[in-house]
């Protein structure tokens, strides 16, 4: 009796292994991880000692043919090439900050081209590329157009038929206890169509009873809720004592003239994540990859989330370890694809593109809890912040803020 053929995968830009972990849970065998960051490499080795790490880890220093050799694979033998090139050149926040629509000039965009060079050499059965929603934010769609053009070139040269399908998903729609929107681009070598996976979970306030309710922050980390905090989760910095005054699920906007707090800030003059807090009864806000003393989401008790809580919200198992200090762990977790979303796409690829019968229930999402307590009661604003109360100008709009004005002045000086 012959055994089923192995479903092989190569992971590019592996990071802490979130996507890899999910795809492995869905039945794919990891043949090689390509990751340049040494701390992330340590995380991969800690958790998956049998996985092979490419040497060198820099995708720009490793030829596609050498990469296949290290994976012990030949062209067209690879089932799945997966990876999420660094997303900053295509992020909406980056666009908001710079107003620059020519983001492919950013050196980091070279990583997308490197991914496609490997597609040309390996000609995998399926490609899976993950990025933030902003990859298609610009009207010019630079990243997406580069992808389409290069895949067309590969198709002509290699007689393949890669047709990219752009899928936008919110992780909360599939049982991840976090609202996290990302774009996934899939294509099969044979040109097969890929449908967006049907959501399994819904916002109970909008779903009218259909499907399962969203899993919440309490479902993910409620059992870790304690009254005594360790020093590593105590908030610090100028705004630490303001956190307890913000209700669950709100951010600094609570303390503007349009909301229910004191007018301490101008409307939309800060990033959304500034002093952002979780609500127990809703999915977490997106876990950020750039931690800062005032960057949320924060715990509903007004403290930082622990590494284990961050990992739970991202659907990493409790036995998953992260190398480095707390900041390094936070960055790795925030940059990761939630493993449950990797599991989802792995199962859908097997079903839709490989023609296999697979389970539908995800193993990596938490169970629903029934003991969610009422929201925390906000505290009064400490006296040291009261001098900020008063009239504040709102943000004037995209491209008109202080940062944009400084850039415009700088450009004017250079032009002279």
Using an 8 Å Cβ cutoff, are 53 and 39 in contact? no
Q: Which residue is associated with the tokens 């659907």?
A: 315
Using an 8 Å Cβ cutoff, are 173 and 201 in contact? yes
- In angstroms, the first-to-last Cα distance of the chain is 78
Give the β-pairing of 80-83 and 126-132.
parallel
187 HSE (CA, 13 A, CB side): 21
Which three-class secondary structure state does DSSP give residue 30? Answer: strand
**Measured distance CA(198)–CA(114) in Å, rounded:** 31
Instruction: Out of 33, 55, 87, 372, pick the active-site residue.
Output: 87
**Measured distance CA(350)–CA(193) in Å, rounded:** 13
259 HSE (CA, 13 A, CB side): 18
What does the block give as tokens for 76? 């067209």
Among 333, 265, 230, 251, smallest CA distance to 297 is for: 251
Among 297, 304, 300, 286, smallest CA distance to 341 is for: 286
Q: How many CB atoms lie within 10 A of CB 91?
A: 18
**Measured distance CA(48)–CA(67) in Å, rounded:** 19
Among 73, 82, 104, 101, smallest CA distance to 6 is for: 73
Residue 87 annotated among the catalytic residues of the structure: yes
**Measured distance CA(332)–CA(405) in Å, rounded:** 34
**Measured distance CA(295)–CA(274) in Å, rounded:** 5
**Measured distance CA(153)–CA(172) in Å, rounded:** 36
Sign of the CA dihedral with 368 first, then 371, 376, and 377 last: positive
Q: Which residue is associated with the tokens 């620059």?
A: 100
- Count of residues making up the chain: 416
Give the β-pairing of 181-188 and 201-202.
unpaired
Residues 6 or more apart from 101 whose CB is under 8 A from it? 95, 138, 139, 140, 142
What is the set of active-site residues?
87
């Amino acid at each position: 009796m012959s055994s089923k053929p192995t479903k092989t995968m190569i992971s590019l830009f592996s990071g802490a292994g979130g996507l890899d972990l999910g795809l492995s849970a869905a039945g794919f065998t990891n043949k090689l991880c390509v990751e340049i960051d040494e701390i992330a490499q340590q995380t991969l080795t800690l958790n998956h000692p049998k996985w092979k790490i490419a040497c060198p880890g820099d995708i720009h220093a490793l030829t596609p043919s050498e990469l296949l050799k290290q994976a012990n694979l030949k062209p067209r033998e690879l089932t799945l090439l997966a990876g999420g090139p660094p997303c900053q050149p295509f992020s909406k926040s980056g666009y908001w900050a710079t107003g620059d629509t020519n983001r492919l000039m950013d050196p980091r965009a070279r990583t997308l081209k490197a991914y496609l060079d490997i597609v040309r050499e390996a000609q995998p059965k399926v490609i899976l590329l993950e990025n933030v929603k902003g990859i298609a934010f610009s009207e010019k769609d630079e990243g997406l157009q580069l992808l389409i053009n290069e895949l067309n070139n590969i198709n002509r040269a290699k007689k393949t038929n890669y047709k990219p399908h752009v899928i936008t998903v919110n992780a909360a729609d599939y049982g991840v206890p976090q609202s996290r929107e990302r774009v996934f681009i899939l294509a099969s070598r044979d040109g097969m169509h890929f449908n967006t996976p049907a959501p399994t979970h819904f916002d109970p306030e909008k779903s009218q009873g259909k499907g399962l309710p969203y899993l919440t922050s309490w479902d993910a980390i409620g059992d870790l809720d304690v009254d005594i905090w360790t020093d590593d989760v105590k908030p610090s910095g100028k705004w630490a004592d303001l956190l307890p005054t913000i209700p669950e699920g709100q951010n600094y906007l609570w303390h503007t003239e349009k909301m229910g707090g004191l007018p301490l800030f101008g409307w939309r003059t800060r990033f959304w994540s500034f002093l952002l807090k979780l609500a127990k009864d809703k999915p977490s806000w997106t876990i950020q990859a750039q931690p800062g003393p005032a960057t949320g989401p924060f715990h509903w008790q007004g403290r930082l989330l622990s590494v284990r809580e961050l990992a739970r919200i991202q659907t990493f198992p409790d036995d998953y370890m992260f190398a480095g200090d707390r900041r390094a762990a936070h960055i790795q977790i925030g940059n990761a694809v939630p493993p449950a979303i990797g599991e989802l796409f792995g199962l859908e690829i097997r079903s839709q593109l490989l023609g296999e019968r697979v389970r539908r229930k995800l193993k990596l999402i938490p169970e629903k809890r029934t003991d969610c307590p009422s929201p925390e009661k906000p505290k009064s604003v400490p006296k040291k912040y009261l001098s900020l109360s008063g009239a504040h100008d709102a943000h004037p709009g995209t491209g008109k803020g202080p940062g944009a004005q400084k850039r415009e002045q700088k450009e004017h000086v250079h032009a002279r």
